[in-house]
Chain A
Amino acid sequence: MPSVNPPKFWQRFLQWFCDSELYEEISGDLNEAFRERLADQGKNYARKRYRLDVLKFFKPYAWKKLHIHRQHSPLLKNYFKIGIRNILKHREHSFLNATGLIIGMTCIFLSLLYLRNELRYDKFHGDAENIYRVQRVFRSQNYSVMPFKDYWRTTAEDQLNYINELKNSPQIVNAVQFNSTNSPTSIPQFYIQKSDGERLVENNILWTNSGSEFFAVLDWTFVVGSAEQALNDIHSIVLTESSVVKYFSSDWKDDAELLNRYLIIDSVEYAITGVIQNVPQYSHLDFDLIVNTPGIPSWGNYTYVKKLPGVTEAELLAEVNSAYLRFRPDAKDNPLEKGLLIEPLASIYLGSNALYELKTPGDPRYLWIFGIIGIIILVVTVTNYFNLSIAFYIGRQREIGVRKALGAMKKTTMTQFLFETLMFVFFCLPISILILQLILPVFNTVMELQLENEMLSDPLFISFAVLLTAFIGLASGFYPSLVLSGKNTLELFKSKVSNANNGLGLRRMLVGFQFLLLIGLGTATYFINQQLNFIQTTDLGFDQEGVISINVSSADSYLKMKNALATHPNILNMGSGGVPGNEMSNTLTYKMLQASDDEVNDDGTHIMIDAGSMEVLGIDHPVLKELKRGKASVFLINETAAEILAASLKTKPGELIGEVFQMEPEYDNEEDGTKGIHYTIDGIVKDYHYFTLKEKVNPMFIEVHAEPTWAYEMLFRLSTEDLFSTIDAIEKEYDEWHPEEPIQIEFLEQRLATLYKNEQQIASLTIGLSGVAIILSLLGLIGLVSFITKTKEREIGVRKVFGANLKQILALLNREFVILAIFATLLAAPLSYWAITNWLTVFAYRIAPDAYVYLIAGIICIGIVAATVTLQSYRAAGKSPADSLKNEQ
């Protein structure tokens, strides 16, 4: 026999890449060929040809293939059948599991949608990373509004001063300015007249004088017209899809003449120059039309700049400041002007802490809350599912034993379990998305959002959902499949794993963790609720009931209205100015005249109010009587101010009456060389909450006039009888004196409530989600407890045989869980306490969380568990031992 063999390396190469099923025939053929060629033409030829042949066999046909489907495909159908059968056999268990999973997944998806919405504000503008807003620091506060040179009296030309300076800067590509009816610095409502003469009230206008350059910085999607020619007219309008329907008709799309139409505001014609898509909810701006006009109707504006890509933020900041000084050289010497800041467009919504924001900014802390709750729910969901599944699989030991005895390999049983779990969870996924679709409208209404179900549309979300589901399935299917499939077949038929300590150790931890969540979330929810109640019921120091406010145009119209309505039986008091219920705003510098110059503080608020308003609000002081006796005005300060001023003179507050203090002491009075505005303190009044409970009451300087010299707002206290006819009467009177301005009526209670709208919403949401997490934890707890108890039936039977009575058995079963609950309470209490006190720091006036709540929560938790355990084991304990021992389960 020739000892020449085919080249070894190539033989091995073939063996390596060749499919095992084809290897025999292929290598056999190649060997045969080798032998023949060896005999015919010698060793070298044979080896050469062999190598060539092996190479030629390196094609997909011969490569090693995955044979799984060949082995498993008949089995998959079997798994499917068994899976469904098992689910139906243990209906309550499956239902419980499915419910928990679906609720959990839905909440996770909801949290995700919310988070994504909050994080995507303003990013849709092209080139957003180069767009910045200019902020002004004045006194010790940040303002998002830049003032015009002469405030309300600035000419249209002068309004453009700063913008023009900015546009001249080499680092700045473009700059625009605008204001909005939504801004506290602007008139809130206007009448807009359609071409057919009908007048409508509009309160969602964006005013700009930047023309079409507005779109060069902030771009929007045009439906009709384009960014280049929109707002090109000096008086022009761009409508949004919703406003074009409001002012024209619902088939505006077919209107070829749309761009030739106009609307009239304040007797001026404004041409329609375009229509854009509605402003998305994830923008810090909100408007229904953009109106270009030479003079913005406000004392200031919001200024935005777009820088060149290569310019750094530091360079931009420097340039913005130097442009400001070119436009306002006097700012340099003014100690109150502390410079300008810039903020990136995308950071405005979440990061801004400036005054006069157009939309209430989002609070990043709430995003954290959401994220954390979302994760908690995720953990709870997976934990629950995991727990319940394990408990469930243990009951199927015999089935696995049979399978193995019939020849199933470890790999196949593993595959079976994983398949079943994945089947189950992927069945729950579409249901969860469906429920999400149904819940979303409700959620949107409560939170005033416009979230869309991106679970259906966004591939990123869809892939996340699929991955999450797969993760849940694999994570919870992995343990039982690995452990159980790995067991010796004999073991499977014999032992009752539920009593084995290793399984219980993990489960104990999971149950304990659920207790922790239950108690932590439960107490947090309770305290959040308490704080919100506290806000609503705290006495603010003035009367709210039956108080309404309206806008007036001047002191003159105010007086006329006051006189006309004085005899109305249901109008109890009227006044102007000093309306509480505002966000913290402008502060004031002040000091006692006799105090030294370094005793200046800058946290004061100056309130202009008339005697009538004081009566409406129920704030009384003996000194006010003098206004009736002919004195034109009195000056009151609140207790907080009195403390500070008294301290600066090292005297007592009482001694301040009759003394003089200065407001704005840095201001030079050119005529007489004095500084600041001087007032005499006539009296000290109790602190009251002019601003929100989020701030501590700050020093207030209340200038009370007998009759106001100017007026913007009018306050009424109405009796509750015939409220609406009274309001009608007020409206009629208003229209007489204000033909061009729509009336705005607000109930003081309403106004105060809106201040906490943000907190309310977030609180509702937190409570809602916590509720869900709690329910899930409860479900999981109950499911697990009942299962564990059921598996202890035999143990109970045995104990009964040995003479234990019902009470002893119940105590035994409960003991384990009670200990867990105690531990969990001890752990959960400090965590929850820390979290709650953190949240409460938002409020200057807050509740103090009571420790006993934690005790009660722990007790309730134990109570629930004990009830569940008792109920389940009652049945088992009540059974005759013969019955429970009969079942060799």
Chain B
Amino acid sequence: MTQLGNLEETILLLVMIMEDEAYGYSVSKEYHKQNGKEISISAVHTVLSRLEKKGLIKSEMGGAIEERGGRRKRIFKTTDYGVRTIQELKAHRTRLWNQLPQLQ
């Protein structure tokens, strides 16, 4: 099971949340909306590319619109492996948290 950094985990979750709408710019907007903190588009692109290389997400080109000057977007979706990985991660975390009743 691959190790995930904090940002990678967050972005992966966002991709899952956004279903078919996840691409560089939209993920960065969503991140800002959910976290309150801004993140640069380039950082998002880098992480998405990394996640794709690790096999946790896959991509397709599509959805050219006027605002983009007719350029298509690269839409990301999680793979089965990605879903399993994130679930394992959650289980792992929960196990640890459960050992600290005072923080619940």
Contact = CB atoms under 8 A, between A and B. Distances in A.
Interface in A1-55: 22, 24-33, 35-36, 52-53
Contact of B73 (A25, A35, A53): A25
B73 A28 contact: yes
Given A25-B71, A57-B42, A59-B42, 7 more contacts: A28-B71, A29-B23, A31-B69, A32-B67, A36-B67, A56-B41, A62-B42
A236 to B, nearest CB: 70
A724 interface: no
A31 B46 contact: no
Interface in B57-90: 61, 64-65, 67-69, 71-74
B69 to A, nearest CB: 5
B49 A61 contact: yes
B45 A26 contact: yes
A24 B72 contact: yes
Nearest to B69: A31
Interface of A: 22, 24-33, 35-36, 52-53, 56-57, 59, 61-62
Contacts of B69: 27-28, 31
B40 A29 contact: no
A24 B63 CA distance: 12
Contact of B74 (A25, A32, A33, A59): A25
Contacts of A28: 64, 68-69, 71-73
Nearest to A54: B42
B42 A27 contact: no
B25 A33 contact: yes
A28 B69 CA distance: 7
A679 to B, nearest CB: 102
Contacts of B25: 29-30, 32-33
Contacts of A25: 23-24, 45, 61, 71-74
B24 A26 contact: yes
Nearest to B48: A25
Contacts of A36: 67
B68 A61 contact: no
B71 A27 contact: yes
B52 to A, nearest CB: 12
Interface string B25-56: 10000000000000011110110010000000
Contacts of B71: 24-25, 27-28, 31
Contacts of B72: 24-25, 28
Given A24-B72, A27-B69, A32-B68, A61 B41 contact: no
23 contacts: A22-B45, A24-B61, A24-B72, A25-B24, A25-B45, A25-B61, A25-B71, A25-B73, A26-B45, A28-B71, A29-B24, A29-B68, A30-B41, A31-B68, A32-B68, A33-B25, A53-B41, A53-B42, A56-B42, A56-B43, A59-B42, A59-B46, A61-B46
A351 B95 CA distance: 86
B67 A31 contact: yes
Interface of B: 23-25, 40-43, 45-46, 49, 61, 64-65, 67-69, 71-74
Contacts of B46: 59, 61
Contacts of A26: 24, 41, 45
A-B pairs, 9 with minimum CB distance: A28-B71, A28-B68, A29-B25, A25-B74, A56-B42, A29-B24, A35-B67, A57-B42, A31-B69
Contacts of B40: 52-53, 56
A542 B84 CA distance: 104
A31 B45 CA distance: 15
A28 B67 CA distance: 8
Contacts of A27: 69, 71
Nearest to B24: A29
A33 B71 CA distance: 13
A25 B41 CA distance: 11
Contacts, number: 62
B41 A33 contact: yes
Contacts of B64: 28
A36 B25 CA distance: 11
- Scoring B24, B40, B42, B71 by chain A CB atoms within 10 A of each residue's CB, the highest score goes to B42
Nearest to A22: B45
Contacts of A30: 25, 41
A28 B41 CA distance: 11
A655 B2 CA distance: 114
A450 B40 CA distance: 67
B42 to A, nearest CB: 4
A253 to B, nearest CB: 55
Contacts of B61: 24-25
- The winner among A25, A53, A57, A62 for most chain B CB atoms within 10 A is A25
A412 to B, nearest CB: 26
A823 B24 CA distance: 74
Contacts of A32: 25, 65, 67-68
B85 to A, nearest CB: 22
B67 A29 contact: no
Contacts of A53: 40-42
Contacts of A24: 61, 71-72
Contacts of A57: 41-42, 45
A59 B24 CA distance: 16
Given A24-B72, A35-B67, A29 B41 contact: yes
Contacts of B42: 53, 56-57, 59, 62
Contacts of B24: 25-26, 29
Contacts of B43: 56
Nearest to A56: B42
A28 B72 CA distance: 7
A22 B23 CA distance: 13
Contacts of A52: 40
A494 to B, nearest CB: 43
Nearest to B27: A29
A60 to B, nearest CB: 10
B48 to A, nearest CB: 10
Nearest to A1: B66
Contacts of A29: 23-25, 41, 45, 68, 73
A11 B43 CA distance: 19
Nearest to A58: B42
A313 to B, nearest CB: 65
Contacts of A61: 45-46, 49
Contacts of A31: 67-69, 71
A376 to B, nearest CB: 55
A61 B25 CA distance: 17
Contacts of B68: 28-29, 31-32
A866 B61 CA distance: 69
Interface centre among A22, A24, A26, A28 (most CB of B within 10 A): A28
Most buried by A among B24, B43, B68, B72: B68
A57 B65 CA distance: 22
A36 B43 CA distance: 19
Contacts of B23: 25, 29
A53 B71 CA distance: 17
A57 B43 CA distance: 8
A56 B44 CA distance: 11
Nearest to B74: A25
A29 B76 CA distance: 14
A758 B26 CA distance: 85
A596 to B, nearest CB: 103
Contacts of B67: 31-32, 35-36
Nearest to A60: B46
A46 to B, nearest CB: 12
Interface centre among A24, A59, A61, by most chain B C-beta atoms within 10 angstroms, is A24
B44 to A, nearest CB: 9
A27 B46 CA distance: 14
Contacts of B45: 22, 25-26, 29, 57, 61-62
A30 B44 CA distance: 12
B45 to A, nearest CB: 7
A28 B24 CA distance: 10
Contacts of B73: 25, 28-29
B7 to A, nearest CB: 15
